[in-house]
Structure 1
Amino acid sequence: MVVLALAGDVMLGRGVNEALRGMRPEEPWGEVLPLLEAADLRIVNLECAITDHRRRWERTPKVFHFRADPAAVEVLRAARIDAVSLANNHTLDYGERGLLDTLECLERAGIRYAGAGRDREEAARPAVLEAAGERVALVAFTDNEPPFAAGEDRPGTNYLPVSLEPEVLGRVEAAVGAARRAGARTVVFSNHWGPNMIERPSEGFRRFARAVVDRGADVYYGHSAHIFQGVEVYRGRPILYDTGDFIDDYAVDPRLRNDRSFLFRVGIEGGEPRRLELFPVRLRYARVGPATGSEREEILDRMELLSGELGTGFDRREDRLELTLPGG
């Protein structure tokens, strides 16, 4: 069985970037690093530009701009990250130049990416990964920041509104088909979607996620809310509505607790998702670590509640939640 690890938003800019100058590249991952290393493949949502370019996006108003020095890519390498999603609302925080620098930095580091590119075609291209004979593709979209969308000859993101319109679902089907033609047996559909600090997916978002599975995606990998949401299993496929944050410098909401999340691990066999494991984590400034004690229990309780509302029940272990998936 090939194990795929998925984490939510990894933001290496701003305060994290400053902290990294006094840290070893592996330090931000803390004691979560062995859980990542135990997986065969690792994917995160990279929510910043990696560039020395200092001129911010100016075409439309924007409050937050996240930029990390090129040396920050060593943090990703330290965790052996295989691929990142770049389809999000911070990839072009430092303009097209910042995005191009990010692409080149990742390419030099041997890290694959999906969801942004030098033009519309590259932004839509899947990243295909292989481990132990299993080929897994990452396709990535976002409904955030429409002005960031790539054009025929313009760098940008793989923008897609959340909708059941035939044109939108046609693009989903085309993306999954391209991943299959590239040799992937398993397709991970990454989507940076919706507003921040939302505890539960709307019914419209649930319908969209199921429609994505109906069009061939094997794992729905959502992020953007900054807090984890419940897990649904539909036609034997896991829908991770929101995987929360993972590394950042963000202020913590005392009620919504955006400093609590999970490392999600999916066991894949014969191209099919067969097992899901959720390891609770606690975020501190520029670091992540396993949650412990009463806080771990509160995080597990919260995920069981949210997932139970979606019809999903887990087997609870001391340090994680587990679920055997029935297959398609």
Structure 2
Amino acid sequence: MSTHSKQITLFLTGDVMTGRGVDQILPHPSDPHLHEAYMKSAAGYVELAEEANGPIPEPVGYSYIWGEVLEILGRRAPDVRIINLETAVTTSETWEEKGINYRMHPENIPCLTAARIDCAVLANNHVLDWGEAGLVETLETLRKTDIKTAGAGRTLDEAQAPAIFEVAGRGRVIVFGFGSESSGIPWTWAAKQEKPGVALLEDLSERTVRQIAGRVQSTKRPGDIVVASIHWGGNWGYDIPQEQIRFAHQLIDEAGVDVIHGHSSHHAKGIEVHREKPILYGCGDFLTDYEGIEGYETFRDDLALIYLATIDPSSGKLVRFEMVPFQMKRFRLHRASEEDARWLEKMFNREGHPFGTWVELKEDLSLVLRMG
């Protein structure tokens, strides 16, 4: 077997929010009534998107929202596909009084299987928007479709347990999901021994690193790749707190983590490679219903990226890291223009400079991460 054939490629994204407006255009929309100050009907988010970019042919097919992403996935054939699913998949009517509540109807779950998603990380600030019953139904719906979950569960043990994937003849990919209060997750959502919830980090201290290290070491075998998928930080701004940087480094240095998959920010942030292992501090939005909402245009949250990390399982080290940019229009992902790809190139080079990373724009408008 060649060295290349032994490598494992991960497909990673930021926030996949298929609830609310996106749910409304799919074949089985939920009751559109919302409990928001800004909008009283999920259909209003569809109207905003149509005002911005034109009509959406409702109902759309389940693969519609992925658009040109599916062609890239088919061609690149990543071994494991991991998303942050920031939506409850439920018919629950027990909504949390928190301002914004996302849900997708369970019968719309084929919109995830259309992209052959392997792992849905659930440790985020929307998975319990429709109560514990909504989380339990989310877990059951994903299980029935063979999508593994990490970061939330019916009990603390289940929430902390990793999702494990066998990659034939090459090793395993182990995904742990974690949430941080800094992303807006209420402390009351923390999983307990007999209480459904998320795997909420108490803090980003060395003690927490040691706890994670224990769980990683009890699971990891030679040839395994460990991903720590973390929902942390605010929605806007490129600043990366020093405690996040320190925590990420310690997870790699002391806990045996090979890939840090950070999300919560509505836009992509700078990328670091520490000891030949990638740290994504913020992947940005991927699939959302934010189209047409005004206020933060300078951050270009309409631009979405798929992250393709190729890892050598024998060492856990990064071999190649590539990003493919897209733009959301009419709730569908289209390949980004050259102008937009160059905007991303400039942003990644600016924000990666403190970490010694930059990107190279290729002829096909993909972005290859470089370091030195």
Q: Report the CA distance between 1:324 and its aligned residue.
A: 6.5
Partner SS state of residue 309, structure 1: helix
Counterpart amino acid of 2:12?
A: L
| 1:174 aligned onto 2:214 | yes
What CA distance in whole angstroms lies between the structure 2 residues aligned with 1:325 and 1:295? 22
CA displacement 1:111-169 (0-9 Å, x = unmatched):
00100001000000000012232310110100132211000100000000442242x11
Structure 1 residues 25-34 or 246-255, which shifts more? 246-255
The 8 Å contact of residues 193 and 223 in structure 1, kept in 2 or not, is answered as yes
What CA distance in whole angstroms lies between the structure 1 residues aligned with 2:25 and 2:274? 41
| CA root-mean-square deviation | 1.8
Equivalence for 2:159: 123
After superposition, residues 122-201 of structure 1 pair within 5 angstroms as 122-133=158-169, 134-143=171-180, 144-166=185-207, 168-180=208-220, 185-201=224-240
Q: Report the CA distance between 1:292 and its aligned residue.
A: 1.5
CA displacement 1:266-316 (0-9 Å, x = unmatched):
112234231111111212343222211211211222122211232113333
Structure 1 residues 284-293 or 29-38, which shifts more? 284-293
Partner SS state of residue 120, structure 2: strand
Q: Report the CA distance between 1:184 and its aligned residue.
A: 6.6
Structure 1 residues 190-199 or 253-262, which shifts more? 253-262
Which residue among 93, 104, 125 is the counterpart of 1:68?
104
| 1:255 aligned onto 2:298 | yes
CA displacement 1:157-193 (0-9 Å, x = unmatched):
0000442242x11222123224316x87100000000
| 1:225 aligned onto 2:265 | yes
Give the number of the structure whose alpha-carbon radius of gyration is greater: 2
| CA gap 1:126/1:25 in 2 versus in 1, 3 angstroms | same
Partner SS state of residue 358, structure 2: coil
Equivalence for 2:12: 6
What CA distance in whole angstroms lies between the structure 2 residues aligned with 1:164 and 1:151? 20
Structure 1 residues 276-285 or 86-95, which shifts more? 276-285
TM-score under structure 1 length normalisation = 0.93
| 1:17 aligned onto 2:13 | no
Equivalence for 2:88: 49
Gaps in structure 1 of 5+ consecutive residues: none
Partner SS state of residue 325, structure 2: strand
Counterpart amino acid of 1:213?
A: I
What CA distance in whole angstroms lies between the structure 1 residues aligned with 2:342 and 2:218? 41
The 8 Å contact of residues 227 and 243 in structure 1, kept in 2 or not, is answered as yes
Which residue among 300, 307, 317 is the counterpart of 1:264?
307
Detail structure 1 runs of 4+ shifted over 3 Å in the superposition: 323-326
Gaps in structure 2 of 5+ consecutive residues: 1-6, 28-58
What CA distance in whole angstroms lies between the structure 1 residues aligned with 2:223 and 2:8? 14
Equivalence for 2:360: 315
The 8 Å contact of residues 261 and 299 in structure 1, kept in 2 or not, is answered as no
| CA gap 1:284/1:72 in 2 versus in 1, 3 angstroms | same
Q: Report the CA distance between 1:83 and its aligned residue.
A: 0.5
What CA distance in whole angstroms lies between the structure 2 residues aligned with 1:81 and 1:65? 23
What CA distance in whole angstroms lies between the structure 1 residues aligned with 2:219 and 2:82? 16
After superposition, residues 92-111 of structure 1 pair within 5 angstroms as 92-111=128-147
The 8 Å contact of residues 248 and 285 in structure 1, kept in 2 or not, is answered as no
Counterpart amino acid of 2:368?
A: E
Partner SS state of residue 357, structure 2: coil
What CA distance in whole angstroms lies between the structure 1 residues aligned with 2:331 and 2:153? 27
| CA gap 1:18/1:142 in 2 versus in 1, 3 angstroms | same
Partner SS state of residue 298, structure 2: coil
Counterpart amino acid of 1:29?
A: W
| 1:34 aligned onto 2:80 | no
What CA distance in whole angstroms lies between the structure 2 residues aligned with 1:200 and 1:161? 22
What CA distance in whole angstroms lies between the structure 1 residues aligned with 2:140 and 2:273? 37
The 8 Å contact of residues 249 and 285 in structure 1, kept in 2 or not, is answered as no
Q: Report the CA distance between 1:55 and its aligned residue.
A: 1.6
Equivalence for 2:326: 281
The 8 Å contact of residues 248 and 287 in structure 1, kept in 2 or not, is answered as no
CA displacement 1:38-72 (0-9 Å, x = unmatched):
21210000001001112202xxx511110100022
Counterpart amino acid of 1:320?
A: S
Equivalence for 1:296: 341
Identical pairs, percent: 37
Q: Report the CA distance between 1:200 and its aligned residue.
A: 2.5
| 1:206 aligned onto 2:237 | no
What CA distance in whole angstroms lies between the structure 2 residues aligned with 1:266 and 1:195? 24
The 8 Å contact of residues 120 and 150 in structure 1, kept in 2 or not, is answered as yes
The 8 Å contact of residues 92 and 134 in structure 2, kept in 1 or not, is answered as yes
